[in-house]
Amino acid sequence: MIPLRDENPAESPPIITRLLIALNCAAFLYELSLGPALRSFMFEWGLVPVRLSLALERGVQPAIEAGTPLFTSMFLHGGWMHLIGNMWYLAIFGDNVEDRLGKLRYLLLYLGSGLAGGLLHYFVNASSRVPAVGASGAIAGVLGAYVLVFPGARIITLVPFFPFFQLMALPAIVVLGLWFLYQFFSGALALAYAPAGASRGGGTSAASRWVCSPWASSEGCAGRHAPGSSTACRRRVAAR
């Protein structure tokens, strides 16, 4: 199912939502411009749990420096579909939450949810050396707020009845509930099939991250090979 819009128009311009979408898109375009330097960029600014663990346990670097990717990683994405999927949901549902909460509280909700997702990913994968990126934790917080504030809202959704598609007005709790279930089971499958040494989150939250290998090619993320190998990139989902 693809949500297209809700039947709950916002009363004020969604300035913060548009700004967040613009920041995420700008960060992704910058990633594309890096070429071969992308892998080191992801390793530097993506969330690498083991770096934070070493900073906290052994003081190998300042904890604030090691923890900065908890914030920066939520503005990075592992591919076009990753970016488009997150920004699509933010554009449809973020404006109403922003309208109801106000701009400052909405921004704090977004950033706080993203940080919470990053911390959950860290606690589940504290020894992982694989960078994780994505705004899914922040998006999950916004969607959860939408369901709580607008439980009776209806979403115009494109529903496939192959070979045809049907437009249907579905309750928000159904559309977003399916999104959370999809994230949960995607994470559970990633956990079940994760190779040794890969980040093992999955299934512990309703949000997902993209996990990017620092050894992957510049075309994307989530390589599963050793340094120096030629690696095809694939999507990996982990808990946030």
Residues 140-154: tens digit of each pLDDT: 999 999 989 998 888
What pLDDT was estimated at residue 193?
Answer: 58
Least confident of 118-122, 161-165, 188-192: 188-192
Query: Is 90 exceeded by the pLDDT of residue 229?
Result: no
Using pLDDT thresholds of 50, 70 and 90, give the confidence band for residue 192: low
Mean pLDDT of the region 172-200: 65
Tell me the C-alpha distance between 212 and 68, whole Å.
17
The predicted pLDDT at position 204 comes to 35
pLDDT for the residue numbered 216: 35
For residue 91, pLDDT over 60 is answered with yes
Q: What is the per-residue DSSP string for 21-77?
A: HHHHHHHHHHHHHTGGGHHHHHHHHSB-HHHHHHHHHH-SS-HHHHHTHHHHGGG--
pLDDT of residue 188: 61
Q: So what's the pLDDT on residue 146?
A: 93
Q: How many domains does the chain have?
A: 1
Which two structure tokens, joined as six digits, stand for 240? 């946030």
How far apart CA 217 and CA 227 sit, in angstroms, is: 11
Range of the domain at 18: 2-238
* Mean pLDDT of the chain, nearest integer: 78
- The mean pLDDT value for 21-26 works out to 97
Residue 228 has pLDDT above 50, yes or no: no
User: Could you tell me the end-to-end alpha-carbon distance of the chain, in angstroms, rounded to an integer?
Assistant: 23
- Give residue 180's pLDDT: 78
